[in-house]
Structure 1
Amino acid sequence: MVKGSNKAADRLAKLEEQRARINAEIQRVRAREQQQERKNETRRKVLVGAMILAKVNSSEWPE
């Protein structure tokens, strides 16, 4: 009886370890996605600002 519960405990420990690794990977992927979204948003803002500045400099946009 003890052997069976020991195997179950070992399997449970391995599954917990696996879950921890998977959760860590999920966090890494989400962090990467958020970082890319921030980069994309910054790029959009820079491009819009450059477009507005170009229009102001060419007198197409009132100051």
Structure 2
Amino acid sequence: MFLFYIKHTVNNITKVKLYFILRQEIKSWDLSNNNFAENKLKVNNISNAIYILKITTNKGDFSKKLLLN
């Protein structure tokens, strides 16, 4: 199991998606109705690899590369 901690700052996060490096979606979280300043996003059965975390906010989308080992 792996936990991602997402903190909301100025931009409201509405959705978070986790992709395998080849753009295969692994998991998606809808945070549009969430009023918390910090969220724990849990992923089960995840392998050591490179992933892309796509975050959608009220200002647009951005992605971060994650290396899990």
Q: TM-score range by the shorter chain?
A: under 0.3
**RCO comparison, higher one (Cα < 8 Å, 6+):** 2
TM norm structure 2: 0.13
TM norm structure 1: 0.13
- Which structure features the higher share of strand residues? 2
- Which structure features the higher share of helix residues? 1
Larger radius of gyration: 1
